[in-house]
Amino acid sequence: MNFDDIFSEYEALVGNVETVFAAVRERCPQEVRCAPGCSDCCQAIFDLSLVEAMYLNKAFNERLEKDAREAILARADEAERKQHKLVRKTVKAHSGENEDAAILDELARQRIRCPLLDAAERCELYGQRPITCRLYGIPTSIGGEAHTCGLSGFAPGAPYPTVQLEKIQDRLMALSLRIQERVLSRYSGLAAIHVPVASALINTYDKEYLGSRTPEEVEADRRRLEGKAPAERAGRSSHGPQIRTLGGEEE
């Protein structure tokens, strides 16, 4: 199935983000210190929305040669396993606390090298890098919490132009929902699935992963569901696909 129109809208959003970054850099040239060879943001742990993950996966498979892809996939597998172990360890360590906040705070301090980062500390898909990477060097805010790169010159508490991430996330969610609707996915939570860069590179975004259906299959599923008891309907799997590493472990 073709998603070029949705990807074009995503690219337009990326263009707006780049414009905002350039404006902040022009206004705060001493504070914004992003430069070739700096890879601090490439060690951060963060997840991609569905549309970002699929866009990056498409670029990875179309733009890079086989040898480059294989080397990156090996690094992606290692990064994914490290993150999986780290998340499990962090969840266990914070059991019984205000878990979500404590876990997110702890993970934000951890570092895992991005599999797209080469030996020269340069991104192998720099032109297609996610939005988080593009905004890392300037002040951002989400849920009332501000963030600035630790290597930047932005002084804590001082007033600076700040990007409100909620609006960007809402736009990414809207594009992801369009993908879910286009494939007539059997997974009601498909658009809300977020994965790290490593998983986005490893995954195969085919009909099975997306839960894609034809209109006939949608109608058949509707009829089957109508014939089931309420308890059976509630137990029907509808959240999203399982994520599998290269080694075959299910997440």
The amino acid sitting at 25 is: R
- How high is the pLDDT of residue 47? 93
Domain assignment present for residue 51? The answer is yes
Q: How far is CA 26 from CA 99, 156, 159, 187, 244, in A?
A: 40, 20, 16, 44, 43
Domain assignment present for residue 250? The answer is no
Cβ contact 37:103 at 8 Å: no
Domain assignment present for residue 247? The answer is no
Confidence of residue 126 (pLDDT cuts 50, 70, 90): very high
Confidence of residue 97 (pLDDT cuts 50, 70, 90): low
Q: How far apart are CA 217 and CA 222, in angstroms?
A: 8
DSSP states of the chain: ---HHHHHHHHHHHHHHHHHHHHHHHH-TTT----TT--GGGG---EE-HHHHHHHHHHHHHHS-HHHHHHHHHHHHHHHHHHHHHHHHHHHHTTTSSHHHHHHHHHHT-----TTB-TTS-BTTGGG--HHHHHTTS-EEETTEEE--TTS-PPTT-----EEHHHHHHHHHHHHHHHHHHTT-S-TTGGG--EEHHHHHH---SHHHHT---HHHHHHHHHHHHTS-HHHHHTS--S----B-TT--B-
Domain assignment present for residue 50? The answer is yes
Q: How far apart are CA 168 and CA 17, in angstroms?
A: 9
In the beta sheet, which residues pair with residue 123? Answer: 117
Cβ contact 80:87 at 8 Å: no
Q: How far apart are CA 46 and CA 42, in angstroms?
A: 10
- How high is the pLDDT of residue 8? 98
Please tell me the least confidently modeled range out of 81-85, 130-134, 160-164. Answer: 81-85
Domain assignment present for residue 28? The answer is yes
- pLDDT at residue 251 is higher than 50: no
- How high is the pLDDT of residue 156? 87
pLDDT tens, position by position, 56-90: 999 999 999 999 999 999 999 999 998 888 877 76
- How high is the pLDDT of residue 237? 52
- pLDDT at residue 236 is higher than 60: no
Domain range for 95? 4-234
Number of independent structural domains in the chain: 1
- How high is the pLDDT of residue 248? 42
